[in-house]
Each structure stands twice: as structure tokens, then as C-alpha cells.
Amino acid sequence: MSVYLRLKEQELSPGNEVKTVPTLPASFLALLGIWSLSQGAYAQTLAYVANFASNSVSVIDTSSNTVVTTVPVGSQPNGVAVTPDGTRAYVANGGGDVWVISTSNNTVLAKVVVGEYPTAVAITPDGTRAYVTRANGNSVSVIATSSNTVAATISVGTAPGGIAITPDGKSAYVTNVGTGSVSVIDTSSNKVTATVGLGTVGPVGVAVTPDGTRVYVLNSSGNLSVIGTSSNTVVATVSLAGDEISPFGLAITPDGTRAYVTRFAANTIAVIDTSSNTVVGTVGLGPSPLEWPLPQMENTPMWELPSTRPATATAPSR
């Protein structure tokens, strides 16, 4: 059953401007970086937004769609994730560290130095570890959430960007933008057990189906690679009609039947039927939906381009 968040009056645009949008499923809102972390009979009512340009995190009460506080963090915050119990938010700062925010009082609990431009954060289902990709370090840092210290560092491919953890918590899938591959990490040993070559350019977004059988990888070349987790091989490729670098955001519905991909060049979201791995529809939106067009900068790697995108996660009301 789909979970709905109370965000029917708010959308976060690249300039952090508030706009009016209809109520959307949590999986659809995940394209904004907003995820459902249900606990008991309620869903989250606070959104944590990492503001890259202002070195801060905005905390939004989604029942009233107002900013309740702003938390100063490190330099160039990129990614943010909330623990499954909703008590802490982990913020990856491009300056080289991860800040931990207590959601009970929105104060900083800890600062964990990881180095080499951390970009994305994923937390294991049991909440014991946070996995952080480091784009300029070609590695993933593993933070033990009990002590907020780095427990392991894992070498992966060039310029790791996105990361997703399987529902059983046993594997983490990391997109390597520079090498066109996905590194598969065994979370029990924190070792790379497989590297999946995609044969395409710039994998960015990544999402795992709720049953854990498939991993969808969004490539900036304009397609989706579907990886079977039993074999860690590409089992299907979904064309997005030659969008080139325009696709960026990716999310899968809670029942696993649909995948959504933002296409800012076309001002739409593509809807993919995961049973047939075909595009079955589009959703029309405003300019540059949910993400931002990457500026064309000569001789600048995509993973080093400046960003104004707000990264967001949600936590339960307290």
C-alpha cells in the first residue's frame, strides 16, 4: 500500500523557492530526496533539507509547510538521510565530513571526518551503520552510528555518487560515475564482492526494489540498467528516448510495480512498468522537474559541477 506524506502544498525548487503541488505518493516524492520512514501509525512530518549554497539544513514541518528551524552544518552539504527510528539525520558535507543532527532538538550531536568530498548517505535498515560515498576519494566510508566513528573504508570505482542498501541490509549498491559501473558491497564484511559493468556513461541514481531482487540504475546517457541481485548482472536495459544527460532522479513505488525518472530536458517524469521494463507513461511538470540541468563546463567532470539542488529526508513527528 502506498504511503502518503503531507506535502501537498510544497515543492523544493533549485532556488529553495516554495511552490504549490498536489499530494504525491512517498515514492514519487523520493525524486526530491524525500523518503517515507513509517513508524507506528504515522509517517514523518519533518523534512530535512540540505542547502548546498548556504551550508545549512532547513527543517520543515510538513503539516504546516513552514521552516521551523535552520541548522548550520559543514561546507557544501550534498546528501542527507534519517535513521529508521527517526532520531538522527546524517548530512554529507562536500567539505569532507558528515554531521549528525538530533531530530528531537535539531542540534548537532557529532561531526565525523571522512574526507574526499562525501556526496550521498544511506543507512542500514537496522540503523547501525551509515554508508557515505566519497566522490573524490573513490571510496565509501562506513560510520558506526553507535559511536559516530568511521568503522571501515571501502575502495570502489571512480567518482562514486549514488548508493542504495537492499531491504535485508546485506548489500549496498554504489554507482561509479567515472567508470560506468556499480560496486556491490557485502555489508557484513564491508568488502566489494562484485563490480557490474554497465557499458554506458555516467551512472548516477540508484534504487532497489522492495523485494530486493532488482536494482535500477539511472545512467546519464539516457537509459536505465536493471541489475538482478541474485547474479549481479544486467538483466535489462530501459531506453528513456535518448535524453542524454537529462535524467537524474530515480524512485521506485512501495509495491515495486513502477519506477519514476525525472527528465528535466523534457520537463517530465517517465513512468516505467517494472514487470515489462518499458516506459508506459509520462507526467508533465514545470521547467527542470525536481532536479537541475547540469551546466556545460568544458573539461569539468560531472561529479565536480556546482549544485544548487536541495537534498532532503524526512523524520517522524515527535
Model pLDDT for residues 129-186, shown as the tens digit of each residue: 999 999 999 999 999 999 999 999 999 999 999 999 999 999 999 999 999 999 999 9
Task: Concatenate the DSSP letters of all residues of 66-127 into one string.
Answer: EEEEEEE-SSSEEEEEE-TTSSEEEEEETTTEEEEEETTTTEEEEEEE--S-EEEEEE-TTS
Q: Domain 73-196 is classified in which CATH homologous superfamily?
A: YVTN repeat-like/Quinoprotein amine dehydrogenase (2.130.10.10)
Domain ranges of the chain: 73-196, 198-292
Q: What is the pTM of this model?
A: 0.80
CATH architecture of 198-292: Beta Barrel (2.40)
Q: What is the pLDDT of residues 11-47, one digit of tens each?
A: 333 333 332 233 344 444 444 444 333 333 344 478 8
- Cα separation, 239 vs 249, in Å, equals 15
User: Pairing state of beta strands 44-51 and 118-123?
Assistant: unpaired
Instruction: Name the pLDDT band for 317 (thresholds 50, 70, 90).
Output: low
Grid cell locating 195? 563490480
Going by C-beta distance under 8 Å and a sequence separation of 6 or more, which residues neighbour residue 214? 208, 226, 227, 228, 229, 235, 274
- pLDDT band with cut points at 50, 70 and 90 for residue 311: low
| Percent of the chain clearing pLDDT 70 (strictly above) | 72
Lowest mean pLDDT among 11-20, 211-220, 232-241, 264-273: 11-20
> What is the Cα–Cα distance from 267 to 285, expressed in whole angstroms?
6
Q: Which helix (H) or strand (E) holds 212?
A: none
**What beta strand segments (E) does 222-310 contain?**
223-228, 233-239, 247-252, 258-263, 268-273, 278-284
| Span of 2-16, 74-88, 199-213, 215-229 with lowest mean pLDDT | 2-16
Across 255-270, average pLDDT = 82
| Residue 129 to residue 236: CA distance in whole angstroms | 31
Please provide residue 51's backbone torsions phi and psi, each rounded to the nearest 5 degrees: -95, 100
